[in-house]
């Protein structure tokens, strides 16, 4: 099975060796559990939801059977309007739905310095998409258990260490396995 992970620098494993980033760790954990899955790393450092939207068709060139959409962090860091983020994520999810690709949406939290209203609206985008699209697998916070933990983050306090990336993979694993259970692969693959 081919699992696409569309994301930003967290997905790309910024500051880590390729084998240490979340896609490689997810792939290794799935294989340890007897699942023959290749995780396609479609992470681009600095990418926003608009960037992901612009490259979704390109990212599908490897014909994935399932997808993880892990974007939004840079939208928050740049203070971009949550309404714009929702439009972009909706477009990405629409492309995946048209191709009948089961999808996991990984949520993100905004920086606290943007205020409570921005924070509510930002989180509301992910929660609203999950509510409006019951077919999605929703993982509320990509950095759950890692954000704010100094030993699990690089000195920039944004990007996970190898240990942090492993924890991300471990925490997401049950959600990813549920996602993979929804895949229907033809004999042609």
Spatial CB neighbours of 175, under 8 Å, sequence gap ≥ 6 = 104, 137, 139
Catalytic residue among 41, 65, 75, 159: 159
65 is catalytic: no
159 is catalytic: yes
Catalytic residue among 8, 9, 47, 65: 9
186 is catalytic: no
H or E, element range at 174: helix 162-180
Three-state secondary-structure class, residue 137: strand
In sequence order, what E strands does the chain have?
2-7, 38-43, 66-70, 103-106, 137-139
Cα distances from 185 to residues 80, 104, 142, 188, in angstroms, run 38, 17, 27, 8
Q: List, by residue number, the catalytic residues.
A: 9, 156, 159
């Amino acid at each position: 099975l081919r699992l696409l992970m569309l994301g930003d620098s967290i997905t790309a494993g910024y500051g880590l060796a390729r084998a240490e980033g979340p896609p490689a760790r997810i792939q290794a954990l799935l294989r340890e559990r007897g699942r023959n899955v290749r995780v396609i790393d479609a992470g681009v450092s600095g990418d926003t939801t608009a960037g992901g939207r612009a490259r979704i068709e390109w990212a599908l060139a490897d014909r994935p059977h399932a997808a993880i959409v892990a974007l939004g962090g840079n939208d928050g860091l740049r203070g971009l309007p949550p309404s714009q983020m929702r439009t972009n994520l909706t477009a990405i999810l629409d492309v995946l739905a048209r191709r009948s690709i089961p999808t996991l949406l990984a949520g993100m939290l905004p920086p606290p310095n943007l205020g409570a209203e921005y924070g509510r609206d930002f989180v509301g985008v992910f929660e609203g998409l999950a509510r409006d699209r019951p077919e999605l697998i929703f993982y509320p916070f990509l950095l759950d258990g890692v954000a704010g933990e100094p030993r699990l983050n690089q000195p920039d306090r944004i990007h996970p260490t190898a240990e942090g990336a492993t924890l991300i993979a471990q925490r997401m694993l049950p959600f990813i396995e549920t996602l993979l259970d929804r895949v229907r692969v033809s004999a042609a693959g």
